């Protein structure tokens, strides 16, 4: 997929608080992504918690396979970046040679100490884009402290795992501070040596208020998936954390979407940021999208028939709207002989991690999840995403189907319409 790269440096003197006239739009067309509707429609609305109307046509995108393949040509190889040799060896051991577009454009600016705004679709390598230069920063100064703030527990654990993969043998340590896990264990870890804290806003605030995290010691902060943190109501917790940070700091801000609220946060939190966008469309071209119309049929029976009759449904992520609905659907599928697990907010962190690992390692065929639980998950080789319940917003839809078709592989997304 060809990525259009937009690189601008925001001038210090600004006449307005938002960047809406600086070349960024919420959609490629500049038009709103969906209509706001008070009443649910037959296909686009929701019967409960009235969501935003989404035109069903936006759930359809037939993948077209052509002989001509377009390639993004990076300016760098990983070995070109001015980072320590131990990092280069770690990168090579992972088999990384050519950076993704966001890595190609972002790493050098982070190494230079700039504040950065990165706008990129999910699954584009954002985590490595900020971890590689920040690990280098720690190697150059072993007293350097980095705070990474993310919306969900799963994403925090995923980033910590990637960090550990890069820093094996370097004596660089991290603490993961997330809700649903033992507070006492986290406090114990916070008393030991570390350079990175990765956590969710609520739990980080708890540790800060109790004095276990001293924000004055941190000169670098990453706000990853900032748009989702805003959607989930973490804005006050984000402001609480940012208010405690030193004024002289490096702030890295990553988001899949832009809005007026996001623009305002960028202005509020960052200083003269370099803004980089590698986002050209809402959904990847290699994800084939279609709808399944119920026409009065039972949804569970339709799902059952799909899973039984179609052999290509080998690793399926199914999204439901509510925690209870997700748990019920997973049980129903298990009773019908499918290997199924679920992740949602009513499960403990250990239960969620166990279910996730079983799915990642293909011990189960199906993972049923709520939007919040599955936010930011990076799972290899998901063949299908099924929207069993409609997403609340089009942005939620984009994030859901971004779980398949990753790393240039093809995937399919189906949305059930009643």
Q: Are 364 and 341 in contact (CB under 8 A)?
A: yes
Q: Is the pLDDT of residue 376 over 50?
A: yes
Higher-pLDDT residue of 233, 339: 339
Give the residue-averaged pLDDT of 129-153: 96
Q: DSSP label at 337? A: T
Q: Is the pLDDT of residue 284 over 50?
A: yes
398 membership: H or E segment, kind and range: helix 394-401
Q: Is the pLDDT of residue 45 over 70?
A: no
Give the residue-averaged pLDDT of 40-63: 56
> How many CB atoms are located within 10 Å of the residue 279 CB?
23
Instruction: Please report which confidence band the pLDDT of residue 310 belongs to, taking 50, 70 and 90 as the band edges.
Output: confident
- Domain 56-61+283-417 shares a fold with domain 73-277: yes
Give the residue-averaged pLDDT of 240-269: 92
Using DSSP, state whether 379 is helix, strand or coil.
Answer: coil
Least confident of 134-143, 213-222, 330-339, 341-350: 341-350
197 membership: H or E segment, kind and range: strand 196-199
Least confident of 29-38, 150-159, 209-218, 380-389: 29-38
Q: Are 415 and 387 in contact (CB under 8 A)?
A: yes
Instruction: Please report which confidence band the pLDDT of residue 72 belongs to, taking 50, 70 and 90 as the band edges.
Output: low
Distance CA 126, CA 221 (A): 15
Least confident of 125-139, 144-158, 225-239, 394-408: 394-408
Superfamily of domain 56-61+283-417: P-loop containing nucleotide triphosphate hydrolases (3.40.50.300)
Report CA dihedral (118, 403, 198, 120) to the nearest 10 degrees.
0
Give the residue-averaged pLDDT of 231-254: 94
Least confident of 38-42, 237-241, 392-396: 38-42
129 membership: H or E segment, kind and range: helix 126-140
* The pLDDT of residue 257: 79
Higher-pLDDT residue of 163, 262: 163
**CA distances, 88 to each of 26, 75, 82, 83, 143 (Å):** 36, 17, 9, 7, 21
Q: Do the bridges between strand 316-319 and strand 411-417 make them parallel or antiparallel, or are there none, so unpaired? A: unpaired
Higher-pLDDT residue of 399, 190: 190
* The pLDDT of residue 4: 41
Distance CA 282, CA 257 (A): 9
Instruction: Please report which confidence band the pLDDT of residue 350 belongs to, taking 50, 70 and 90 as the band edges.
Output: confident
Distance CA 240, CA 230 (A): 14
Give the residue-averaged pLDDT of 32-41: 35
Q: Is the pLDDT of residue 33 over 60?
A: no
Report CA dihedral (222, 226, 232, 234) to the nearest 10 degrees.
50
Q: Is the pLDDT of residue 9 over 80?
A: no
Give the residue-averaged pLDDT of 273-301: 83
Q: Is the pLDDT of residue 14 over 60?
A: no
Q: Where are the domains of the chain?
A: 56-61+283-417, 73-277
Name the pTM for this structure: 0.65
Superfamily of domain 73-277: P-loop containing nucleotide triphosphate hydrolases (3.40.50.300)
Condensed to tens digits (0 to 9), the pLDDT of residues 172-181 reads: 999 999 988 8
* The pLDDT of residue 375: 66
């Amino acid at each position: 997929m060809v990525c259009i790269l937009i690189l601008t440096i925001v001038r210090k003197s600004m006449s307005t608080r938002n960047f809406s006239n600086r070349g960024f739009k919420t959609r490629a067309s500049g038009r709103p992504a969906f209509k706001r509707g008070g009443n649910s429609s037959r296909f686009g609305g929701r019967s409960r918690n009235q969501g935003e109307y989404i035109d069903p046509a936006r759930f359809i995108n037939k993948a077209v396979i052509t002989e001509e393949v377009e390639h993004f040509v990076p300016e760098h190889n990983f070995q070109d970046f001015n980072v320590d040799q131990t990092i280069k060896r770690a990168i090579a051991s992972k088999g990384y040679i050519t950076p993704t577009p966001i890595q190609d454009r972002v790493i050098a600016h982070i190494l230079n100490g700039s504040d950065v705004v990165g706008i990129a679709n999910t699954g584009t390598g954002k985590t490595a884009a900020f971890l590689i230069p920040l690990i280098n920063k720690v190697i150059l100064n072993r007293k350097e402290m980095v705070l990474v703030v993310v919306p969900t527990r799963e994403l925090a654990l995923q980033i910590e795992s990637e960090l550990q993969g890069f820093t094996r043998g370097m004596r660089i340590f991290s603490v993961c501070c997330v809700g649903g896990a033992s507070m006492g264990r986290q406090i114990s870890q916070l008393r030991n040596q570390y350079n990175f804290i990765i956590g969710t806003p609520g739990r980080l605030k708890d540790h800060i208020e109790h004095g276990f995290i001293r924000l004055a010691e941190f000169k670098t902060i990453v706000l990853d998936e900032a748009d989702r943190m805003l959607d989930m109501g973490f804005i006050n917790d984000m402001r609480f954390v940012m208010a405690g940070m030193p004024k002289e700091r490096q702030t890295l801000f990553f988001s899949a979407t832009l809005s007026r609220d996001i623009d305002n946060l960028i202005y509020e939190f960052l200083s003269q940021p370099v803004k980089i966008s590698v986002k050209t469309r809402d959904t990847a071209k290699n994800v084939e999208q279609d709808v399944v119309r119920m026409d009065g049929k039972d949804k569970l029976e339709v799902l059952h028939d799909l899973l039984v009759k179609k052999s290509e449904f080998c690793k399926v992520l199914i999204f439901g709207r509510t925690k209870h609905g997700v748990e019920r659907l997973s049980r129903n599928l298990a009773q019908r002989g499918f290997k199924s697990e679920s992740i949602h907010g009513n499960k403990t962190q250990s239960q969620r991690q166990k279910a996730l690992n079983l799915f990642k390692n293909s011990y189960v065929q199906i993972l049923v999840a709520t939007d919040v639980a599955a936010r930011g998950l990076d799972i290899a080789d998901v063949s299908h995403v099924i929207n069993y319940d409609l997403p609340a917003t089009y942005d939620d839809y984009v994030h859901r189907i971004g779980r398949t078709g990753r790393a240039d592989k093809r995937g399919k997304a189906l949305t059930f319409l009643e």
